[in-house]
Amino acid sequence: MALSDLASTPGLAAGRDAATHGFVFNHTMLRVKDIQRSLDFYSRVLGFTLVEVRHFPEARFSLYFLVLVDDPAQIPDDDQARHRWMKSVPGVLELTHNHGTEDEPGPVYHDGNSDPRGFGHICVSVPDVVAACERFEQLGVPFQKRLRDGRMRELAFIRDPDGYWVEIIQPTPLDC
């Protein structure tokens, strides 16, 4: 469907309010049980870079902001500049660690895909989904859905340490 036809989808505003110019879909926040395991997963397995940490010792939580950018030169080294940059770009992942959850037995958080449902997943796009999934297998990453499972053969789902689903896709058609 052409972009102009999509504009007539029921519910959509007729035009864009100029007051929304400059708005950016900045980040998504997930709570995580064990921040060290999550930082390991998002940095080692998926390539995210940690760009800001904020600790709130009285309220016993910490916030970790990560980005997924190829060129580290994009990320300002100066704290203030990096803070402003981090708040102005899309695709930031915020992980909230409530202190002490890492010592609780079993899973602490709900992935949203069983009742009560809501949030479904985040998605990382990769240049080669087959190569990426082979690497995840080698790394021992748990899969929710392998490429060969089900009817949608061009996408996979892996699970992060809390069980959140991470969809893996590639922008171009897959030869399968």
Considering the complex, state which of residue 87 and residue 142 has its C-beta at the smaller distance from a second copy: 87
Residues in region 142-171 near a second copy by CB under 8 A: 162, 164, 167, 169-171
What are the DSSP calls for 48-80, one per residue?
-EEEEEEEETTTTEEEEEEE--S-GGGS-SSHH
- Residue of the chain from 57, 106, 127, 140 that contacts a second copy (CB under 8 A): 127
> How many whole angstroms separate alpha carbon 135 and alpha carbon 160?
15
Burial class (CB in 10 A: 0-12, 13-18, 19+), 1: exposed
Residues in region 55-114 near a second copy by CB under 8 A: 64, 67-68, 70, 75-77, 79, 82, 84-85, 87-94, 96, 109-112
CB 92 to a second copy: min, Å: 8
> How many whole angstroms separate alpha carbon 29 and alpha carbon 93?
6
- CA dihedral angle for residue 56, residue 50, residue 163, residue 35, rounded to 10 degrees: -40
Q: Is 102 annotated as a binding residue?
A: no
Q: Does the active-site annotation cover 58?
A: no
CB 148 to a second copy: min, Å: 19
CB 146 to a second copy: min, Å: 18
